[in-house]
Structure 1
Amino acid sequence: MSATEADGALAGLHVLVTRPAHQAEPLCAALTAEGALPVRFPVLEILDPVDSGPLLAVIDRLDEYDIAVFVSPNAVVKAMNLIMARRTLPPTLQFAAVGRVSAKELRRFIGRDADIFPPRKFDSEALLEQPALQQVAGKRIIIFRGGGGREHLGNVLKERGAQVDYAEAYRRGRPRADVDVLLRAWARGEVDIIAVTSGEGLRNLFDMVGKLGQHWLRKTPLVVVHERMAQLAEELGFKEPPVVAAEASDAAIVEAIRQWHKKRT
């Protein structure tokens, strides 16, 4: 361990990082910079749609839409890579992002800030509060999302009079994992807190670890990124209420863990 790691605010703390493998490194690096010891255990993998035909068809007629909404960073990356490879961006299309990380990814592709995104809370409810989405009667809106995503955003926009279509830019799968490695880490006391960033990820983790692992899991502190996930954790039988980070960004997760660790030491 380096001197920086030894002196960090999270020195020696074992944090189970459950982000998909291709997205875990920035969070692991941020934790390591604070002295924590990340334990990588992906509970989701991001896959292409089984049939990309409907997504490509939407991209080809993107000029028909007034607003394109991206519900996650994965939706941005998967959809925008295809859009940029296939066509030019419609000049009148407005871009909306649910969260700060999604907005940051959009900026990378379009070279400017998204037209619509919440300045503080980062969920569908906060996006729906934005002035640009209040008077949408007659507007055509395309929502880029993962397979089986929440319907709330689209339903509310339809209630406001918009014509809403969905485009599934990716699907989520459950990766194969060596659960024995995680069980041994628990037995050695090397899982102090778990960071999970979606309800589906939490359910996957619960199922992946099996009966024995669930015994350890329910006793392990949890940091999540939305109150809905805290409710799910309660339903799954977690002993302690989860720590809820301000948003799903790496910085917010690290800060939530830092505050939790400070209170218990």
Structure 2
Amino acid sequence: MNASPKARAQSLKGVGVLVTRPAQQAAELCELIEEQGGRALLFPVLEIVAAEESPALLDLVDRLDEFDIAIFISANAVDKALSLILARRPLPAHLQLAVVGNSTARQLQEFGIHADLIPAQGFNSEALLALPEMREVHGKNIVIFRGAGGRELLAQALRERGARVEYAEVYRRTKPQADVSALLEELRQNKVQVVTATSSEAVRNLLEMAGKEGAQRLRALPLVVLSARIAEDARALGFKSVTVAQLAGDEALAEAVVQAVRRRYT
């Protein structure tokens, strides 16, 4: 039985939740936390920067007609890729657009474009590879729009299935310069009860940015992440209590925060 709206509004009453998403992508998660009575504490540990418009990247954009499928790894990939592409040319009519999850599909819709291929569940590279259309790719040309230094699993699997794959790295992630004093004060006063992170890089950056004392205090708190892979990396970095959201996306992340609070504090 679903909780009543009133009960749901109190699910995170008095709970401080550290949100580490990039500042421009944190609003929805912060809103979901606050709707349930929590206090969202924003401390971005990643900054998304458009890649340099190199001759190689511009050449790939100009050659889009050669490709059968374009895969967008993230909402950031959609935003940076389409901003670049549509400033130079329209998308080819025959090009199938594939995304790894709902948030990426929603970002496509912001440009008035619908995804052709999207996993029904899972919302990661493995789920995308499981689609029937991604199994029959022998002889096809595929471009993957992603950030610099992403995972190799998707391209490797597609090449093994006979596809020709190229990368278009349209953004890079950087560690922002931040004043950590406010976060340390929140931690010292026990005003943070749960930490969230949406990538392994975010976990590493958070610990580095927080310094020795901050990292020690953060590792003692429940951490909520988006995948088993991130959870494994977080445990290797010293987090003891890690909850994995059932799905990718802010709603599932917020629900996992509620679950983590119930396990730890009730």
Pair 1:117 & 2:147 matched:
no
- Say whether 1:38 aligns with 2:29: no
Contact 1:147 1:170 in 2 (8 A): yes
Mark the CA change 1:17 to 1:63 in structure 2 (over 3 Å): closer, same or farther: same
Shift in CA distance, 7/71, structure 1 to aligned 2, threshold 3 Å: closer
Shift of 1:17: 0.3
Classify 1:138/1:6 alpha carbon distance in 2 versus 1 (closer, same or farther; 3 Å): closer
Q: Distance in 2 between matches of 1:254 and 1:26?
A: 10
- The DSSP-based 3-state class of the residue aligned with 1:15 is strand
In the TM superposition, what is the alpha-carbon distance from 1:18 to its structure 2 partner?
0.2
Aligned to 2:3: none
SS at match of 2:83: helix
Alpha-carbon distance in 2 for matches of 1:117, 1:141: 16
Instruction: Tell whether 2:222 aligns with 1:232.
Output: no
Q: Match of 1:187? A: 188
1:23 match: 25
The runs of 5 or more residues in structure 2 that have no matched partner are 1-5
Matches of 1:128 and 1:66 in 2, distance apart? 16
Equivalences for residues 135-154 of structure 1 within 5 A: 135-154=136-155
Under a length normalisation based on structure 2, what TM-score does the superposition of the two structures give?
Answer: 0.94
User: 1:118-143: CA deviations, max 9, x gaps?
Assistant: 11101101100000010111100000
Cα shift readout 1:206-256 (whole Å, capped 9, x = no counterpart) = 11112111210110110000001111111111122x110123311111111
> For each residue in 1:39-70, what CA deviation from the matched residue of structure 2 results, as whole angstroms up to 9, or x when unmatched?
11000000011344332221111100000000
Report the number of matched residues.
260
Q: How high is the TM-score relative to the length of structure 1?
A: 0.94
The answer on whether the counterparts of 1:5 and 1:33 sit within 8 Å (CA) in structure 2 is: no
Which one is further off, 136-145 or 46-55?
46-55
**Structure 1 residue 255 corresponds to structure 2 residue 255:** yes
* 1:5–1:35 contact (8 Å) kept in structure 2: no
Letter in structure 2 aligned against 1:253: L
1:211 corresponds to which residue? Answer: 212
Letter in 2 for 1:262: R
The aligned residue for residue 126 of structure 1 is 127
Residue 110 of structure 1: how far off its partner (Å): 4.2
SS at match of 2:111: helix
Deviates more, 1:49-58 or 1:71-80: 49-58
Question: Which residue identity does 1:250 align to in structure 2?
Answer: D
Match of 1:78 in 2: 80
User: CA deviation digits over 1:103-160, x for unaligned, max 9?
Assistant: 1111332433x11111110110110000001011110000000001111100000000
Cα pair 1:5 1:36 within 8 Å, conserved: no
Partner residue in 2 for 1:9: 11
Q: SS state of the match for residue 21, structure 2?
A: coil
Equivalent residues in 2 for 1:239-250, closer than 5 Å: 239-240=240-241, 242-250=242-250
On the 8 A contact 2:68/2:96 being kept in 1, the answer is yes
Alignment of 1:81-92 (within 5 A): 81-92=83-94
Separation (CA, whole Å) in 1 of partners of 2:61 and 2:10: 46
Give deviations 1:183-223, integer Å, cap 9, x for gaps. 11100001100110011111111111121112101101100
CA distance in 2, matches of 1:7, 1:234: 31
Identity across the alignment (%): 49
Q: CA shift at 1:85, angstroms?
A: 1.9
Distance 1:7 1:156 in 2: 44
Partner of 1:53: 55
1:165 corresponds to: 166
Change (3 A) 1:7 1:100: closer
